[in-house]
């Protein structure tokens, strides 16, 4: 054979360069956008450090303006989580382990329908249907459990309290926690489940012994994602809550703390000048809080993933 | 391999109906709404105004009449509250503002408006409406209260409906023992300003807070906008609140004590109180502000009223904007416009003398250069 | 040989242990439920508590009665198991009550509003009757279209980078992680960002236009598009790619002509779901798109009405005719829910029927 084998480098085609450049550029755009959110919020929020009390609803400085809003955000989200988590875990277990196989998929789909409803419709339902219906229970709580600081009353006559808002929030975050928990529960190794059953465990004991221990970190991250969503929810809270910006633990009265997102939604149209900057500053605080919560949640999931998939 | 051919058909199956749907959608969207004239969308001019939510119903009537006559102009009005309206106007974000209280010299609003316009701003009264004290108490139809009692109720000093002070003024009424739930505005509002002004002046010292656009007390139910207050009072048994009469709907209003008689809220009563009140002095020529006499003893006068103003610039950079603002404002203060407002919103048409003064001032609006 | 004998005391204990212990009959839970329902009904009737009280009392009776019966007949572990089973079924029922209640409320209040006037008219010059949501429908369509035009190319190209080019690199895992975190951005923050961006760019502190809304919505759509497209691209078998390379097709052509068509239905599903998610967002549009009564076809100038903002304002600022305004709000809410459900259904149908056969 007289021909020599020459090693040729395949020419770098223009098409490949352009395309891979575009793909890389798109990914960078996302990083830039995320950084941009933080940067622009900071740019617009910094001037608020010099705001007068007249721009801050009478509060002396930006910190005193933001602190009650942060309290309200965390408080409402916490109550929502307390209501939603047991329900979500129960529903997830129902769909993955208790329901007949044929029903499991339609049931899961129906729960996901809750996530498809827009938040403004939840707000309509909360203020138009749920609020008035909750007034008798609030009055009952005021009468019988009024010695607890949570139910000190006097009970609101319209039902537009932070407890009502938290219930609506709980319904809104239920699908998220349920979906993630369901996936985690159905990923339990069948072998462990069968082994528990073979040893004579009842269904609940099987779940307690072989499903829940593996699911712990997943449930934690699901709850944290739900928490993040609850903190960022705007319209439902803005419509349902009768907010006065006070810091209180009273769940059933007409004076309630406001949340950051609801405050921005309600006040933005009215605001000019430094008031806008103050609202953007509170938005920045909300962004940081939800970012941290989501970051931690995803970190927990990825660590769990790595430990499970040896 | 026959896979590529199968795959080739599937995307086409989606793409073709997808594209047709998109085309149809775009074609449909190119048609205007069936209640809008064909001229909408062609060189449409927009006027932006914001402010008093009490003026909302009257504004709807004025805007619709003006837009019917000038179908290529769209007038947007955002009832976000008097405070917000003035601020936005002074910041240059809107063309005209509506406010339930005149520009406040102490807060620097007159100077700020002058700065925005490059000359003294125009301010004319355009809406006079009674503020009703609305209540929702089972079994109580006719409630009459003096300013002092009202002040004590809203201040939280009187907490039950069957309190002695209320019973003393309503002999024969069956007052239940329900807790009183006072409702106030959560946003900055001229209605709040007028109401607290009335309480401050007429309550004989029972109200200790100065008049302000922001409700001074933290307790009680907070509602957003005039409609929010009406909704809150309507939903809660035992509630009492204050709102413009035009949006009160079916709710009962309190008869307030004026002089020695109890007067129910009415447009006529507000007009009488307005006529008996003097014009404020010390303001520029183009600015008419009325100092309402809250202690008026004029027969049949209802002093708990809201005199609402329109604020605009005497000159605008854009000729079209100047024309439209002039046209719209002239319509609003004309006898025709005032009657339309009264028909739709239950307000009192401006007294003739005020109406003439306002029309003259509005007539001076022109474009720069 | 030592015999191991059990200690004296134990022998008697184990003599009568049967191989199976008594069990409740299979219809036991149903019987207890029926009895709880009737007992609860009697109690509620006599105390005048109404339907809600009846249901709560019946549920409590069931929760107490069944485990108690099981404890007596079976054993403690079985009783606990039955208790948990009842709790879980109750949780399922509780979870569905809001969904049923919400949908029935919206349908009940909104169905009568759906007339052709409602769908064809805007609110221009309308006081009271005769208004409609045409302007809001147009606004929603245009703004969502704008958001899709921005987010689909960026999202798709990013997922192509993550799957085809970046794959195992650290930058790719960082991007993937950050995209996941991005799904948690509150919608109001996205709106504030769009406002801050355009206020700075145009120098107008009161800026309101439709395209700003599109930018805010695209910030919310991109993470969904990226994640679902990535999953779909990963599902494409490597053999297809390698066969294409073997035939000398350059990489970019492989992606465009082989990989994308294979994953297309899944990508369309993902995009449709993303659209369904953002079409109901109110907060960012409140901030940057504003609201108006008339139709506005221009994305780049002046305020634009959208369905969610229309619902919000119609309900909270009803003006002179509160019942009519609130009726508009419910009607628009029903239309919005129908659109979202339809989009979800389309996504599922496309995903199920147009999926390429990946097996042989």
Q: Which of A72, A242, A248, A277 to mutate to test the interface with B (most CBs of B within 10 A)?
A: A242
Residue C70, pLDDT score: 86
Phi, psi of A157 (to 5 degrees): -90, -10
Q: Does A91 touch chain C (CB under 8 A)?
A: yes
From A178's Cα to the closest Cα of chain B, the distance in A is: 33
C71 CB neighbours in chain A (<8 A) are none
Q: Does A266 touch chain B (CB under 8 A)?
A: yes
Cβ neighbourhood burial of B57 (10 Å; 0-12, 13-18, 19+): buried
Q: How confident is the model at residue B12 (pLDDT cuts 50, 70, 90)?
A: low
Residue A305, pLDDT score: 66
Q: Does A105 touch chain C (CB under 8 A)?
A: no
| ∠ Cα C223 C229 C233 (to 5°) | 145
Answer whether C225's CB lies under 8 Å from C130's CB: no
- Give per-residue pLDDT as tens, C202-222: 877 677 888 999 999 999 999
β B73-78/B252-253 pair status: unpaired
A269 contacts B218? CB cut-off 8 A: no
Residue B264 parent element (H or E): none
Task: Name the class of domain A61-309.
Answer: mainly alpha
- Give per-residue pLDDT as tens, A238-271: 989 887 778 888 888 878 889 999 999 888 877 7
Residue B41, pLDDT score: 44
When computed from its CA atoms, the radius of gyration of chain B, rounded to whole angstroms, is 25
Q: Does B324 touch chain A (CB under 8 A)?
A: no
From C255's Cα to the closest Cα of chain A, the distance in A is: 10
Residue C262 has pLDDT above 90, yes or no: no
- Chain A residue whose CA is closest to C97: A171
- Give per-residue pLDDT as tens, A20-54: 889 989 989 998 999 999 998 998 889 888 878 87
Which candidate from C99, C180, C251 shows the least CB-CB separation from A114?
C99
C105 CB neighbours in chain A (<8 A) are 125, 128-129
C113 vs C219: which has the higher pLDDT: C219
Q: Does B218 touch chain A (CB under 8 A)?
A: yes
Q: Taking the C-alpha atoms of B275, B276, B278 and B279 in order, what is their torsion angle to the nearest 10 degrees?
A: -10
Residue A6, pLDDT score: 59
B81 CB neighbours in chain A (<8 A) are 270
Residue C51 has pLDDT above 70, yes or no: yes
B47 CB neighbours in chain C (<8 A) are none
Q: How confident is the model at residue B5 (pLDDT cuts 50, 70, 90)?
A: very low
Q: How confident is the model at residue A61 (pLDDT cuts 50, 70, 90)?
A: confident
β B252-253/B122-136 pair status: antiparallel
For the residues of B204-234, what is the DSSP string, one character each? TTS--SPP-SS-----SEEESHHHHHHHHHH
| Ramachandran sector of residue A110 (left: φ over 0; alpha: ψ -120 to 50; beta: rest) | alpha
Q: Does B177 touch chain A (CB under 8 A)?
A: no
Average pLDDT of chain A is 86
Q: Which of C115, C123, C124 to mutate to test the interface with B (most CBs of B within 10 A)?
A: C124
A266 CB neighbours in chain B (<8 A) are 186-187, 224
Percentage of chain C surpassing pLDDT 70? Answer: 92
Q: What is the ipTM of this complex?
A: 0.84
- Structure letter (DSSP) for residue B170: S
- Chain A residue whose CA is closest to C104: A125
Residue A155 has pLDDT above 70, yes or no: yes
β B366-367/B315-316 pair status: parallel
Residue C214, pLDDT score: 95
C87 contacts A94? CB cut-off 8 A: no
- Chain B residue whose CA is closest to A239: B224
β B239-244/B221-223 pair status: unpaired
B220 CB neighbours in chain A (<8 A) are 254-255
A15 CB neighbours in chain C (<8 A) are 250, 252-253
A254 contacts B221? CB cut-off 8 A: yes
Residue A309 has pLDDT above 50, yes or no: no
A180 vs B20: which has the higher pLDDT: A180
Average pLDDT of chain B is 82
Residue B240, pLDDT score: 93
B4 vs B313: which has the higher pLDDT: B313
- Closest C-alpha among B118, B126, B117 to residue B313: B117
Q: At what angle do helices A162-186 and A131-145 cross, to 10 degrees?
A: 100
State the Cα–Cα distance between residues B119 and A162, nearest whole angstrom: 48
Span B102-108, average pLDDT: 83
- Give per-residue pLDDT as tens, B69-90: 888 888 888 877 787 788 888 8
Tokens 């593996």 belong to A214
- Chain A residue whose CA is closest to C158: A27
Residue B17, pLDDT score: 57
Q: How confident is the model at residue B24 (pLDDT cuts 50, 70, 90)?
A: low
Answer whether A215's CB lies under 8 Å from A227's CB: no
Which candidate from C265, C303, C357 shows the least CB-CB separation from B76?
C303
A58 contacts B235? CB cut-off 8 A: no
* Per-residue H/E/C for chain C: CCCCCCCHHHHHHHHCCCCCCCCCCCCHHHHHHHHHHHHHHHHHHHHCCHHHHHHHHHHHHHHHHHHHHHHHHCCHHHHHHHHHHHHHHHHHHHHHHHHHHHHHHHHHHHHHHCCHHHHHCCCCCCCCCCCCCHHHHHHHHHHHHHHHHHHHHHHHHHHHHHHHHHCCCHHHHHHHHHHHHHCCCCHHHHHHHHHHHHHHHHCCCCCCCHHHHHHHHHHHHHHHHHHHHHHHHHHCCHHHHHHHHHCCCCHHHHHHHHHHHHHHHHHHHHHHHHHHHHCCCCHHHHHHCCCCCCCCCCCCCCCCCCHHHHHHHHHHCCCCCHHHHHHHHHHHHHHHHHHHHHHHHHHHHHHHHCCCCCCC
Residue C155, pLDDT score: 94
B232 contacts A160? CB cut-off 8 A: yes
Span C295-322, average pLDDT: 85
Answer whether A134's CB lies under 8 Å from A221's CB: no
- Give per-residue pLDDT as tens, C5-20: 555 555 455 566 677 7
- Chain C residue whose CA is closest to A263: C188
Answer whether C226's CB lies under 8 Å from C179's CB: yes
Residue B2 has pLDDT above 70, yes or no: no
Strands of B261-263's sheet in order across: B144-145, B255-258, B261-263
- Chain C residue whose CA is closest to B37: C124
A160 CB neighbours in chain B (<8 A) are 221, 232
Residue B7, pLDDT score: 44
Average pLDDT of chain C is 85
State the Cα–Cα distance between residues C53 and C286, nearest whole angstrom: 41
Residue A169, pLDDT score: 95
- Give per-residue pLDDT as tens, B140-160: 888 899 889 999 999 988 889
From A282's Cα to the closest Cα of chain B, the distance in A is: 18
Residue C97 has pLDDT above 60, yes or no: yes
Percentage of chain B surpassing pLDDT 70? Answer: 88
Which candidate from B187, B231, B239 shows the least CB-CB separation from A270?
B187
Neighbours of C255 (CB within 10 A): 24
Span C245-258, average pLDDT: 90
Residue A71, pLDDT score: 93
Which candidate from B33, B88, B224 shows the least CB-CB separation from C134?
B33
Q: How confident is the model at residue A8 (pLDDT cuts 50, 70, 90)?
A: low
State the Cα–Cα distance between residues C338 and C343, nearest whole angstrom: 9
Answer whether A83's CB lies under 8 Å from A167's CB: yes
Span A76-94, average pLDDT: 94
CB pairs under 8 A between B and C: 117
- Using CB atoms, which chains have 3+ pairs under 8 A with C? A, B
B187 contacts A266? CB cut-off 8 A: yes
Residue C148 has pLDDT above 90, yes or no: yes
Structure tokens at A233: 């929810």
Structure tokens at A28: 């960078």
Percentage of chain A surpassing pLDDT 90? Answer: 34
- Chain A residue whose CA is closest to C88: A90
Residue B40 has pLDDT above 50, yes or no: no
Which candidate from C92, C276, C340 shows the least CB-CB separation from A91?
C92
Q: Does A180 touch chain C (CB under 8 A)?
A: no
Span C39-50, average pLDDT: 80
Q: Is the dihedral of CA A126, A127, A128, A131 positive or negative?
A: positive
């Amino acid at each position: 054979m007289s021909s020599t084998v020459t090693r040729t480098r395949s020419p770098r085609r223009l098409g490949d360069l352009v395309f891979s450049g575009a793909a890389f550029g798109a990914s960078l755009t996302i990083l830039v956008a995320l950084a941009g959110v933080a940067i622009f919020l900071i740019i617009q929020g910094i001037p608020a450090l010099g705001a007068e009390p007249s721009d801050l609803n009478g509060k002396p400085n930006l910190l005193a303006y933001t602190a009650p809003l942060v309290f309200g955000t965390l408080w409402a989200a916490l109550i929502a989580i307390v209501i939603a988590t047991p329900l979500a875990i129960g529903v997830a277990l129902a769909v993955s382990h208790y329901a007949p196989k044929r029903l499991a998929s339609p049931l899961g789909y129906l729960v996901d329908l809750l996530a498809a409803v827009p938040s403004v419709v939840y707000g309509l339902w909360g203020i138009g249907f749920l609020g008035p219906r909750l007034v008798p229970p609030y009055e009952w709580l005021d009468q019988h459990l009024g010695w607890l600081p949570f139910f000190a009353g006097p009970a609101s006559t319209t039902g537009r309290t932070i407890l009502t808002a938290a219930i609506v929030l709980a319904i809104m975050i239920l699908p998220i926690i349920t979906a993630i928990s369901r996936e985690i529960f159905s990923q339990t190794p069948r072998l462990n489940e069968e082994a528990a059953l073979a040893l004579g465990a009842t269904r609940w004991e099987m779940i307690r012994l072989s499903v829940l221990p593996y699911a712990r970190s997943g449930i934690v991250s699901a709850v944290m994602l739900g928490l993040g969503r609850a903190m960022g929810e705007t319209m439902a809270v803005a419509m349902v809550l009768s907010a006065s910006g006070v810091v209180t633990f009273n769940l059933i009265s007409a004076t309630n703390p406001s949340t950051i997102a609801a405050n921005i939604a309600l006040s933005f149209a009215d605001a000019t000048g430094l008031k806008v900057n103050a609202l953007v500053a509170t938005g920045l605080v909300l962004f940081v809080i939800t970012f941290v919560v989501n970051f931690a949640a995803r970190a927990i999931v990825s660590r769990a993933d790595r430990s499970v998939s040896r | 391999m026959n896979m590529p051919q199968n795959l080739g058909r599937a995307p086409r199956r989606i793409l073709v109906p997808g594209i047709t749907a998109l085309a149809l959608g775009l074609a449909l969207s190119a048609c205007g709404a069936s209640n809008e004239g064909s001229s909408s969308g062609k060189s449409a001019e927009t006027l932006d105004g914001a402010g008093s939510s009490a003026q909302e119903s009257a504004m709807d009537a004025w805007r619709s009449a003006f837009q019917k006559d000038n179908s290529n102009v769209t007038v947007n009005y955002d009832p976000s509250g008097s405070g917000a309206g003035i601020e936005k106007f002074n910041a240059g974000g809107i063309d005209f503002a509506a406010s339930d209280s005149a520009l406040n010299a102490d807060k620097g609003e007159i100077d700020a408006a002058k700065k925005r316009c490059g000359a003294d701003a125009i301010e004319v009264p355009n809406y006079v409406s009674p503020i009703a004290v609305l209540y929702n108490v089972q079994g109580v139809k006719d409630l009459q209260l003096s300013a002092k009692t009202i002040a004590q109720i809203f201040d939280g000093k009187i907490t039950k409906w069957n309190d002695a002070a209320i019973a003393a003024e309503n002999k024969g009424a069956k007052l239940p023992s329900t807790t009183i739930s006072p409702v106030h505005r959560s946003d900055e509002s001229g209605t709040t300003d007028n109401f607290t002004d009335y309480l401050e002046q007429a309550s004989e010292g029972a109200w200790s807070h100065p008049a302000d656009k922001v409700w001074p007390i933290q307790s009680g139910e907070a509602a957003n906008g005039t409609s929010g207050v009406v909704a809150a009072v309507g939903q809660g048994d035992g509630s009492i609140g204050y709102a413009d009469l035009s949006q009160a709907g079916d709710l009962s209003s309190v008869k307030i004590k004026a002089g020695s008689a109890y007067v129910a809220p009415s447009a006529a009563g507000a007009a009488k109180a307005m006529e008996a009140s003097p014009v404020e002095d010390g303001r520029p020529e183009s600015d008419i502000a009325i100092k309402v006499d809250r202690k008026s003893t004029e027969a049949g006068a209802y002093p708990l009223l809201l005199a609402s103003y329109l604020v605009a610039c005497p000159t605008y950079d854009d000729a079209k904007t100047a024309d439209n603002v002039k046209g719209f404002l002239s319509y609003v203060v004309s006898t025709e416009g005032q009657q339309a407002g009264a028909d739709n919103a239950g307000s009192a048409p401006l007294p003739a003398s005020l109406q003439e003064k306002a029309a003259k001032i509005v007539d001076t609006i022109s474009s720069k250069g | 040989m030592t015999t191991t004998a059990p200690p004296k005391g134990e022998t008697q204990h184990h003599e009568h242990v049967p191989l199976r212990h008594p069990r409740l009959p299979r219809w036991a839970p149903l019987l207890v439920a029926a009895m709880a329902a009737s007992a609860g009904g009697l109690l509620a009737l006599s105390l005048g508590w109404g339907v809600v009280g009846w249901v709560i009392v019946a549920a409590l009776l069931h929760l107490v009665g069944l485990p108690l019966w099981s404890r007596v007949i079976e054993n403690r572990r079985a009783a606990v198991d039955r208790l948990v089973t009842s709790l879980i079924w109750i949780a399922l029922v509780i979870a569905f009550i809001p969904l049923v209640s919400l949908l029935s409320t919206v349908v009940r209040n909104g169905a009568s509003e759906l007339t052709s006037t409602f769908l064809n008219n805007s609110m221009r010059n309308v006081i009271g009757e005769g208004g409609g949501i045409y302007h809001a429908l147009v606004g929603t369509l245009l703004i969502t279209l704008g958001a899709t035009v921005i987010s689909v190319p960026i999202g798709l190209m990013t997922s192509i980078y993550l799957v085809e080019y970046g794959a195992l690199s650290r930058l790719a895992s960082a991007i993937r992680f950050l995209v996941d975190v991005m799904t948690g951005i509150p919608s109001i923050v996205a709106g504030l960002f769009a406002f801050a961006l355009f206020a700075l760019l145009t120098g107008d502190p009161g800026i309101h236009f439709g395209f700003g809304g599109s930018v805010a919505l695209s910030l919310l759509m991109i993470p969904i598009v990226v994640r679902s497209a990535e999953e779909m691209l990963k599902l494409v078998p490597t053999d297809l790619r390698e066969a294409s390379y073997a035939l000398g097709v350059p990489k970019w052509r492989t992606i465009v002509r082989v990989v994308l068509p294979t994953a297309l239905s899944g990508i369309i599903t993902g995009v449709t779901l993303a659209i369904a998610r953002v079409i109901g967002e109110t907060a960012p549009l409140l901030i940057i798109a504003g609201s108006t009564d008339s139709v506005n076809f221009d994305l780049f100038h002046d305020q634009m009405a959208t369905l969610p903002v229309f619902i919000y304002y119609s309900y909270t600022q009803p003006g002179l005719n509160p019942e009519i305004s609130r009726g508009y709000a419910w009607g628009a809410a029903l239309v919005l829910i129908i659109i979202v459900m339809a989009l979800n259904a389309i996504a599922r149908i496309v995903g199920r029927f147009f999926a390429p056969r990946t097996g042989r």
